[in-house]
Chain A
Amino acid sequence: MKRALALALLTLLPLPALAQATGDLGLVVERASGSLLLVDRSDRAALTRIEGLGDLSHASLTYSPDERFAYVFGRDGGLSKVDLIDRKVVARTMQAGNSIGGAISDDGRLVAVSNYEPGGVKVFDAGTLAPVADIPAEGKTIGLVDLPGRRFAWAVWDTGEVFTGDFSGAAPVVTSLGIAGVNPFDAVLTADAHTYLVGLFGEKGVMSYDLWSPETPPQKFLTDYGKTGEDMPVYKMPHLQGWAFTEGQFALPAVGRHEVLWVDSETHADRGATPVHGQPVFIIAQPASPYVWVNFATPLNDTVQVIDSRDHKVVATLTPGKAVLHMEFAPRGAEVWISARDDDRVLVYDTRTREKLAEIAAKAPSGIFFTARAHRPGL
């Protein structure tokens, strides 16, 4: 009884203004309930749930430079600004009918959203979420990343065209980089902002753009990969945000195959393939290590594998839970947090022992985003 009273009081009292440091916090997307779980990395615990964010399937988010605010890109076109200290949504706009992701400019002033319906890129003031620019496209935009100098890059699924947009001046300057190929499904920027890789779904291959010397013609690679074998149906689009760059190589998901592909990051020469448990979805490099971690598309999505990038061998196979959707590393690599959607759990693993350290209850968790992302380009 006393307990119930205390609980009731707790829920009635307004939350005190907490002066909590945010450097070890993170947000977990709870896709079915339209909520975010605020987590503390050091305590390996959930702090609170932030609700009212709409349709969060496929949702992603990015952080302000001071790691106080998260910009959440919902599938339903909602753009929400969440305050990690006051633990609530502080601004929200329905900016399109259907959107897929976004990015924040290098100076933290602009937030760009990539939309499916109507297609295009919309840019907002990071402070107020007031609209700043609207760049229509002839189709669904994908692979939006930030480039240095208040610029962004993106591609269009329907036409295959790739663009950069410069928002540093009074009016935006949009430049076409040409056609990457048939149906680009995602794109990613290397951490040095040198190479923009555009993965193709409608044909074999990956197009590589040299953003340091834009006059260099783009290079297509992996074009004849697997032409002999029969490809399997793709039940989940692989993500490229997680493409790993390690040991001078790109580790790429083979679309429609149970393989991770290794490509020389300088010459784009084929460096081999690793047979894996299923169709890779995310391939993520464990920071400060030679390892990459891979999760898989349904129905083989209860498993995570660890591959050594030096010899391309699988060194560990874990089964963290049902429907593993995402993995996020502590910025220095000591831990990895793994979401198991159908177990309603986030699992914390030690990356050295690969033993489970903790479990955190979450409602159908998908993406996990630590605030350290605030300081990484292309995220």
Chain B
Amino acid sequence: MPKLALFLAILPGMALAEIAPEQAARLEHIVTQDCGSCHGLTLRGGLGRPLTTEALAGADPATLATIILDGVPGTAMPPWRPLLTEEEARWIADYLTTKDQR
């Protein structure tokens, strides 16, 4: 039993790109507040579609990271490259696809 708890505690950390904890907090803040202004504070959708783990089931995090960095041309989804590094975008993509399981 304690073994399992330990495993669970470590797993999310391993799934995410290498990012310092304080930076992770900043990125989480960006996701709720800035992405949330279009995708909903709870990410259940707004002008942009839902970004819940359920809605993104089966999505490839690398592809999502590219969408985040380059946006979706012809839609309201802006490119975040001017504000986020590739590591940060990848962290957000991993975070989005796993957060509701944590």
Contacts and interface: CB of A to CB of B under 8 A. Distances in A.
Is this pair of chains taken from one and the same complex?
yes
Interface of A: 31-32, 55-58, 75-76, 97-98, 100, 116-117, 140, 157, 183, 185, 201, 233-237, 298-299, 323, 341-342
A364 to B, nearest CB: 8
B85 interface: no
A97 B29 CA distance: 24
Contacts of B46: 57-58, 75, 98, 100, 116
B76 A58 contact: no
A117 B45 contact: yes
Interface string B71-88: 100001011101100000
Given A75-B46, A233-B79, A237-B76, A341 B40 contact: no
A234 B45 contact: no
A241 B79 CA distance: 26
A233 B37 contact: no
Interface string B32-43: 111011101110
Contacts of B41: 31-32, 55-58, 75
23 contacts: A31-B41, A55-B42, A57-B36, A57-B42, A58-B46, A76-B40, A76-B44, A97-B45, A100-B46, A116-B45, A140-B47, A157-B47, A183-B76, A185-B47, A185-B76, A233-B82, A236-B38, A237-B47, A237-B76, A298-B34, A299-B83, A323-B33, A342-B33
A183 B76 CA distance: 9
Contacts of A233: 71, 78-80, 82
A32 B41 CA distance: 7
A55 B76 CA distance: 22
Given A56-B41, A235-B83, A298-B34, 19 more contacts: A55-B44, A57-B41, A57-B46, A58-B46, A75-B40, A76-B44, A97-B45, A98-B40, A98-B44, A98-B45, A100-B46, A116-B45, A116-B46, A183-B76, A233-B79, A233-B80, A237-B37, A237-B76, A298-B33
Contacts of B82: 233
Interface in B55-95: 71, 76, 78-80, 82-83
A234 B47 contact: no
A236 B80 CA distance: 12
Contacts of B79: 233
The 5 closest A-B pairs by CB, nearest first: A57-B41, A233-B78, A233-B79, A55-B42, A298-B34
A100 B38 CA distance: 11
Contacts of B83: 235, 299
A185 B33 CA distance: 19
A58 B32 contact: no
A58 B48 CA distance: 13
Contacts of B76: 183, 185, 201, 234, 237
Contacts of A56: 41
Contacts of A100: 46
A298 B32 CA distance: 13
B77 to A, nearest CB: 9
B83 to A, nearest CB: 6
A57 B51 CA distance: 15
Contacts of A57: 36-37, 40-42, 46
B32 A32 contact: yes
B23 to A, nearest CB: 15
B52 to A, nearest CB: 12
A237 B45 contact: no
Nearest to B78: A233
A323 B82 CA distance: 18
A350 B78 CA distance: 36
Contacts of B80: 233
A76 B47 contact: no
Most chain B C-beta atoms within 10 Å of own C-beta, residue among A31, A57, A100, A235: A57
Nearest to B79: A233
Contact of B38 (A31, A97, A237, A299): A237
